[in-house]
Amino acid sequence: MERKVEISMLCQIYGRLLTEKQLNILDNYYNLDLSLSEIAENENITRQAVRDIMKKGENKLFEFEEKLGIMKKTQRQEEKIADILSELTKIQTKFTDEQISEILEHIKEELNCVV
């Protein structure tokens, strides 16, 4: 996954655990696509201060994910759901009752893993 996208997703998940300034600066950089200079001007701080705040915020986001794993769990759930939808699509074509039963059993197993 591209680093920018990953950090943007981590901000959505853990952003409220950061300081307001860290979240604001990360949001401006990763979501609003502002440059370090633009952020520094808006925040009335140096470009280096913006970079330092970003690094601290990014490190905290990755620490939160390492400890809590919410993004990883969400991605696994999305993959399982995609698998389940694929299995359901198979049912729409012609199958015997036994084949449909096998597919439904597999879907139940996948859903038990998600819950």
The CATH class given to the 3-68 domain equals mainly alpha
Which pLDDT score, from 0 to 100, does residue 28 have? Answer: 97
Cα distances from 53 to residues 8, 47, 59, 62, in angstroms, run: 15, 10, 10, 14
**Model pTM above 0.85:** no
d(CA 67, CA 52) in angstroms, rounded, equals 23
What integer best gives the mean pLDDT of the chain?
Answer: 90
Quick one: DSSP state of residue 53? Answer: H
Confidence of residue 96 (pLDDT cuts 50, 70, 90): confident
Q: What is the pLDDT of residues 37-66, one digit of tens each?
A: 999 999 999 999 999 999 999 999 999 999
Domain ranges within the chain, ordered by starting residue:
3-68, 73-114
Between CA 76 and CA 14, with CA 67 as vertex, the angle to 5 degrees is 80
Task: Name the 3-class secondary structure at 73.
Answer: helix
